[in-house]
Amino acid sequence: MHKEENSHAKNRPTPEERAATRERVRFRQRRLLHYAFRQKRSLVAGFAFMIAAVISDLAGPWLVAHIVDGQLAEGRGILNPTVFWTLIAVYFVTVIAASALRYGATLSFQGTANRIAMAMQEDVFAHVQTLPIAYFDRLPAGQVVSRVTNDTKAVRVLYDVVLSQLATALIYAAGIFVALFLLDIRLFLIALVPLPLLALLFHDFRTKSARFNRRYRKALSELNGNLNETIQGMELVQALGQEERIYDEFSEINDEVYRQGYAMTKLFAYSSFNGTDALKNLVFAGVLLYFGIGHLSGRYLVPVGLLYIFVDYMLKFYGQMNNAMTRVGDLERANGAADHIFELLREEPWVDQLEPTADGAVERPGEVEFRGVSFAYKDETVLRELSFRLPAGKTLAFVGHTGSGKSTVMNLLLGFYRPQEGEIYVDGQELRGRSLRQARQEMAIVLQDPFLFTGTLLSNITLDDEGISEEEARQALIDVGGADFLARLPEGLQTPVREKGAAFSAGERQLLSFARALARNPRILVLDEATANVDSETELAIQNGIRRLEEGRTTLIIAHRLSTIRHAHEILVLDHGRIAERGSHDELIAAGGLYRAMYEAQSEGSRAA
């Protein structure tokens, strides 16, 4: 017994967790209202159409009752043909009007939902592009994609189906009970009897639905992340024979998705149509008993038309309750999805916190300086009090063993991360004090693994920059050593590029990256092991391209092959985040230290190969 109490105590949320939950709910409500307010005209139109549709729908049974009780008499037929046929005509008008008004409400609500979903996806995507790279280090790409696509679709359902259906159910309930109260207080009281049970059913369904949906969304997000990672690494999975292990991992996550989905199915099975139908049958039994006793005893009579109104209204009421309860599950799913989206939107952007300055068009020399820079990824220190100055137009290379901090220098210079200590200056101005968008316009980077976008060779070089002409793009590709590559393509720069440029070799993709960098004409050039993944023959072909890129530019090179940086004006040898050696290639060789050992080891390896 004590173990169970301790278990419940552990699962009970702390005051801080409850406060965080309340704040999350308030933030979600504010943002959802914000998006709804942006489409207030169509929402108001939708509600106006729906209220009019409900009034028309509830007027129909009243007209039928008036015809049955007031215009038909046993043995006499129609009492007043003019009134009778007028009421029949009005009844048909109400039926048609209700259908037309529901059509208008549906169009309004769905149009609103589509516009809100579109605006939300645009906002999320725009925000994702402003997030620091550190955010993507802790959240897999598949989960980000899921939030932009799946979660925004779930929130769309909130405005399209849930909001309209729940609001419609409330409007119907209000109209039905007001009408019954005015028509017959006794029928009104009979209809009220099961409402406490109905409220308990709703509460139980919503509580469990919220819990199951949170677990389901979490499992589904993990499934998307696993699937995205597996597809991206499919070559490695097959090459290493890991299909069975990867399948087992996927199946484990997929089983959890199934379990949570099945829990929701069981909840629907007992709570939705079963529960409300049972209450509806109890109400019908009660009113038929009331109707039968009144007629058999002769103490009171319930007109047939009034009975018809009650039965029709109860069918409508419980039909709406069935629908509303089903939508409560969608509501919880939408709330969970909205929390995912708004959690992402609450991440603080810092890429463009500063506006571009008026001197953004001024050509700068491109001097770079690090002053006492220290940086750590979480608890792992990567750079320790790193200081260097690179004059404009010079080339500086970084070498060192894996984990020495080489790539971190580039990440800090490009503003992907901020140093915990020290400052970074570009042309005498601290990087924190400039718009990163503006600063990055003066830089270009060529990565070890070149990334190509779906489109054409031309669009991959120019990135659709109208300031770069097709002729300039072609010349850039030729200048970096891509003349032979371009000559082999019948469509030239219009050659299609599919996802990630899979149809091209690593060397060809790298040539396009070099051309992209050259076409931007940057003042500062960053080469992050740009020739590490190309063969020796291709490397020799693009070395001239690298020299062409470096001309007149401040260049920072992360080198894997030390033979490619012999021309650098200065080489920094990093060891555990500190500068162990510095100097030119010849100076470092003559010093006989770490650099010489690395160079000789590579030279011996090349001769052996």
φ, ψ for residue 597, nearest 5 deg: -60, -40
Helix axes 163-183, 81-128, angle to 10 degrees: 150
pLDDT band at residue 369 under the 50/70/90 scheme: very high
Domain assignment of residue 539, given as a range: 364-608
Q: Token pair for residue 52?
A: 């009019």
In a domain, 60, yes or no: yes
DSSP states of 337-359 as a string? HHHHHHHHHTSPP-TTSSPPPGG
* Mean pLDDT for the stretch of residues 527-533: 71
Q: What percent of the chain has pLDDT over 70?
A: 87
Does this model's pTM top 0.85?
A: no
Answer yes or no: do 257 and 151 share one domain: yes
Distance CA 292, CA 212 (A): 45
For 42-74, write each residue's pLDDT tens digit. 888 988 998 999 999 888 888 888 788 776 655
Answer yes or no: do 339 and 369 share one domain: no
In a domain, 400, yes or no: yes
- Check pLDDT > 90 for residue 373: yes
In a domain, 113, yes or no: yes
10 Å CB burial of residue 409 (0-12, 13-18, 19+) is buried
Residue 488, C-beta contacts closer than 8 angstroms, at least 6 positions apart: none
Answer yes or no: do 331 and 380 share one domain: no
In a domain, 7, yes or no: no
* Mean pLDDT for the stretch of residues 244-259: 87
pLDDT band at residue 471 under the 50/70/90 scheme: very high
Q: Around Cβ 110, how many Cβ atoms within 10 Å?
A: 17
Distance CA 111, CA 149 (A): 18
In a domain, 110, yes or no: yes
Answer yes or no: do 282 and 394 share one domain: no
Residue 236, C-beta contacts closer than 8 angstroms, at least 6 positions apart: 242
Which tops the pLDDT comparison, 23 or 1?
23
Answer yes or no: do 320 and 371 share one domain: no
User: What's the mean per-residue pLDDT of the chain?
Assistant: 81
- Check pLDDT > 90 for residue 387: yes
In a domain, 377, yes or no: yes
Longest dimension (CA), the chain: 125
In a domain, 358, yes or no: no
Estimate the share of the chain in helix, then strand, then coil, as percent rounded to the nearest 5. Answer: 70, 10, 20
How many domains does the chain contain in total?
2
In a domain, 3, yes or no: no
- pLDDT score recorded for residue 5: 47
Distance CA 314, CA 288 (A): 13
Distance CA 464, CA 456 (A): 10
